[in-house]
A = this chain, B = another copy of it.
Amino acid sequence: MSMTGAENAITDVAGLSVGHHERVGRGWATGSTVVLVPDGAVCGVDGRGGAPGTRETDLLAPQNLVQQVHGICLSGGSAYGLAAADGVMRWLGERAHGFAVGAQPHEVVPVVPAAVVFDLPRSDWGNRPDAEFGYQACQNAASGPVAQGCVGAGAGAKVGSLKGGVGTASVIVPEPGGRAGETRPGHPQPGESQPTVGALAVVNAFGEAVDTGTGRPWTAECELAGEFGVGAWPSRAGDLSSGDGGHAGDDGRSLNTTIGVVATDAALTKAECQRLAMAAQDGIARAVRPAHSMFDGDTVFALGTGAHELPEGSGPFGAAARAAALDQLCAAAATCFSRAMVHGLLRADGTAGLPAYRDVWPEVC
């Protein structure tokens, strides 16, 4: 049986902190969220949406020089929101966290990949995150707990016909299953510490996160230990007629995007991080339908902090043992990302014209 981490948040991976900054009200509903790893973490990325808005993703290719990043910046504001990463770089650089490029400790270039969601219709035109949003999100960063719902990059989020938001989750990864009697050379023995996987998602998808005919989130079954706090899921169609933010009123130019971070304390290579990010995209595929549309920019970053050694990948049994351990992390990442997305859905607050899940199905709360 799987267990969540202590906070059921991405910050259960030691070394990570998360901060939000948003403006809501008076013509604003947008913000930025940072995941900081000031001491560096190996990073990979996978993009599967048709309309991504990103920066510093090319350097993450496994064949490239830079091995570690120092933070991930997620923002509203569409491509304009990429400016928030400037503020994250400044905050990290002021504290001498970054890739060393000179003899002095402060001569660093922080590596801060970023992705954005399209939430411009939630704010008056021209209101979008700038560098200050990224800087303030860093100021607010803490190693937990992590606020969820309409905060940070989720402040203006929308998922299908409903208000979206930020969600997070974590899991202590169980031992890989092996066939009875099979030896698994190099694999940690029972009693050794197990890796943690955490996810943080900004749920802003074109597709629906809920079976609107029954009210059940598509990935409700992923729940661990009653984390969703729902005694029984509804089994009735939702009345979505009160909202004007659904697909009916769209003119076909609606853009969306689910973005997020999946993290583990396992010691992964860049290529392995990329695979972890790919796995988390499966979590999106399950949690929203349709997923990965031409109007989504779905981008997931994966971080490996390195505290937990995986089996060596060498020798006659090593490669298979390492691949099996990585697959275990990947399966956990997919499910954990789906769970984070359900949290983002359930924790969102409705706004004028865009009801929250619990506005439509209040019986679950």
| With A50-B65, A51-B59, A55-B56 already in contact, 9 other A-B pairs whose C-beta atoms are closer than 8 Å | A49-B64, A54-B55, A54-B59, A56-B82, A78-B109, A80-B86, A86-B86, A101-B255, A102-B120
Number of interface residues of A (CB under 8 A): 50
In the complex, the answer to whether B56 meets A56 with C-beta atoms within 8 Å is no
Enumerate chain A interface residues (CB-CB to B < 8 A): 47, 49-59, 63-66, 78-80, 82-83, 85-86, 89, 93, 100-104, 106-107, 109-112, 114, 118, 120-121, 125, 130-131, 251, 253, 255, 294-295, 297, 299
A316: min CB distance to chain B, Å: 32
Point out the residues of chain B lying under 8 angstroms from A107, CB to CB. 120, 125
A114: min CB distance to chain B, Å: 8
Beyond A82-B86, A101-B118, is A59–B63 a contact (Cβ under 8 Å)? no
Point out the residues of chain B lying under 8 angstroms from A104, CB to CB. 125
In the complex, the answer to whether A83 meets B50 with C-beta atoms within 8 Å is no
Alpha-carbon separation in the docked complex, A253 to B101 (Å): 6
Beyond A58-B47, A131-B83, is A125–B109 a contact (Cβ under 8 Å)? no
Beyond A79-B109, A89-B79, A107-B125, is A56–B54 a contact (Cβ under 8 Å)? yes
In the complex, the chain B residue whose C-beta lies closest to that of A93 is: B80
In the complex, the answer to whether B64 meets A51 with C-beta atoms within 8 Å is yes
Beyond A58-B47, A64-B50, is A101–B83 a contact (Cβ under 8 Å)? no
Alpha-carbon separation in the docked complex, A118 to B114 (Å): 20
Alpha-carbon separation in the docked complex, A112 to B82 (Å): 11
